[in-house]
Structure formats: structure tokens, C-alpha cells
Structure 1
Amino acid sequence: MGGNYPDIKGLPFPGQLYHRIDNAKVEDQVKFLVLTLEQIIHLMDAREDMNAVQWNLKTVDHFLADLYRQASELKECVAQYHPSHKESYERKIVRHFRNLKKFLKKKEYSAQAWEQIRRVVKQHLQRMDIIASNATSFKKV
């Protein structure tokens, strides 16, 4: 969307939460992936607040469509699992993304703020890819 990342000291990233999810049951990992994808979609689907940033909006739309498709497919997997109580990771990841939204609002949706969000989203997607790879290989065993 925006090329190279600017050298900006970033926002906090929930690395410990990802470490806990790495060691969780596959069902919880898939639920976490769905929840995180939904949170990213909700965060990035703010076209009216992207005026300051010089991203190609068609690229943003394609990105969101890919995320939505992945979330929909994973939801089908989650539907097979038995319902469970609300896990602590659910509250933590929702709180993390709520803080990212507050950050954007506080920074008045500036281009620099969006670039910081883009960096955090990339970190999430990288960590989620690792979880998905591990969950897939675990299910095949």
C-alpha cells in the first residue's frame, strides 16, 4: 500500500499474547486468527479516515477483500468447534485494536499514524502466518 516503512518508533505489539497462542490448542489458534482478521478488517476499513495517506485505495480494497475471504473460510472451521467460554486472549486482542483506533483518532488520522498502523498490521499478519502454518502442520500429523 505505501512502499517502504518509515523509520518510526512504533506502537506496542502484543508479542506475549502471540507466544501464548503459539502454545494453545489448534481450535483456540483458529479462533484467534479469525478474531484478529476481523479486528484488522475493522481497523483498516476506514476509507473516510484515509484522506491524509497516499495509498492506492484499490489496493486497500483488494487487501480487505483477501482478509475478508480468509476470515470467512476460517469461520467455517470455527463453526465445527464446540462453543467455549470467552478466552482471555479475546479480550486482550480486542483491547489492543481498540487502542490502535484510539491512537489513530488522537493523531487525527495523519499519514504518519496510518504508516504506524500499517507496520503493526504487517507484524500481526506475519505472526498469524506462523500460527496458521503450525496449526496446519499439526492437523496433518
Structure 2
Amino acid sequence: MGGNYHDITAPFPGKLYNWIDNAKVENQLKFLVLTLEHIIRLMESRESSMNAVQWNQNTLQHFLAGLSRQSSELKECVAQYPSRKESYERKIKSHFRKLDKILKKEKYSAQAWEKIRRAVKHHLQRMDIIASNAMSFLKV
């Protein structure tokens, strides 16, 4: 997945990730679930509009299946914590709304999808760090 586009960027909630890095493990796990769900929703809801990109559909399906599996496993962990609204929920929802608007504004072009791909990659990299930190805390 990915093309030969240079200097393509999409907004990224770096401050939110910096805050989550220092949050309680409970909030970190909830944040991971929420973000995974938004990524899955963004990619699945727009699958039919990916005509402009040359992504391998099998690879995309395996990617989404892996994210769905991780999300459902994390939901089992999160189920033990009390459910309440957190401030980061609104912020991450707003961020993914912006990504969706990029796709719509740029008419689901290959360049727009490349922006989304890079944003998702950045999310997954930061989420991996949060997950590693949470796991090390939970093992102790």
C-alpha cells in the first residue's frame, strides 16, 4: 500500500498522544480501542471509494481483519474498567472526522488516500508505543 507521493501530510493529534503516554493504563487501553475502531470504520466505510488507489485488496482485508482482532481482544481487557466519557474521546472523534473530510474534499483521490494511509501509519506507530508501555506496566 502506498504510492510515490512526497510531502503529503494529514493532521495528526500529537498533543493528544503525548497526554495519553502519561495517562493511566485504563485510559491508554480505552484510547487504543477507540482509535482502532475509528481506523477500521474509516477504512471499511470507504472501501468502495478506493478505486483511485492501487492497493492490494487482499492485503487491505488482512490488515483490517488484524485490526478488528486486536480491537476485540483489547475490548475484553477494557471491559473490566468502569465505563465513562473521557475528554480524549471527543478529540479523537474530531480528528477522524477531519480525515474523512480530506477524503471527501479531494474526491477520494489517490493522493487523499495516501494522506490517510500515512496518518493511519503514524497512529499505529504511536499506538504500538502506548501498547508496549501498558503491557510492561500490566506485567509487573
Q: How many pairs are equivalent? A: 139
Tell me if structure 1 keeps the 8 A contact 2:29–2:74. yes
Identity %: 70
Which AA in structure 2 matches 1:55?
W
Please, which runs of 5 or more residues in structure 1 have no aligned partner? none
Letter in 2 for 1:9: I
**Mapping of residues 36-55 of structure 1, within 5 Å:** 36-45=35-44, 46-55=46-55
Asked if 1:94 is matched to 2:93, the reply is yes
Maintained 8 Å contact 2:52/2:108: yes
Secondary structure of 1:50's counterpart equals helix
TM-align CA RMSD: 1.0
Matched residues in 1 for 2:97 and 2:7: separation?
21
Q: Which residue number corresponds to residue 126 of structure 2? A: 127
Paired residues for 1:9-24 under 5 Å: 9-24=8-23
Counterpart amino acid of 1:96? H
Can you list the C-alpha shifts for 1:55-107, whole angstroms capped at 9, x where unaligned? 111111000000000000000011111222x1110000000001100110000
Shift of residue 8, structure 1, vs aligned partner: 2.4
Alpha carbons 1:107, 1:113 under 8 Å: kept: yes
Runs of 4+ aligned residues of structure 1 deviating over 6 Å after TM superposition are none
> Aligned residue for 2:69?
69
Q: Rate the CA distance shift 1:77–1:38 in 2: closer, same or farther, 3 A.
A: same
Q: Give the number of the structure whose residues are more often helix, by fraction.
A: 2
Deviation at 1:6, TM superposition (A): 2.1
Q: d(CA) in 2 for partners of 1:81 and 1:5?
A: 44
C-alpha separation between the residues in 1 aligned to 2:100 and 2:4? 19
Partner residue in 1 for 2:111: 112
Return the alpha-carbon distance in structure 2 between the equivalents of residues 125 and 32 of structure 1. 12
Structure 2: runs of 5 or more not aligned = none
TM-score (norm 1): 0.95
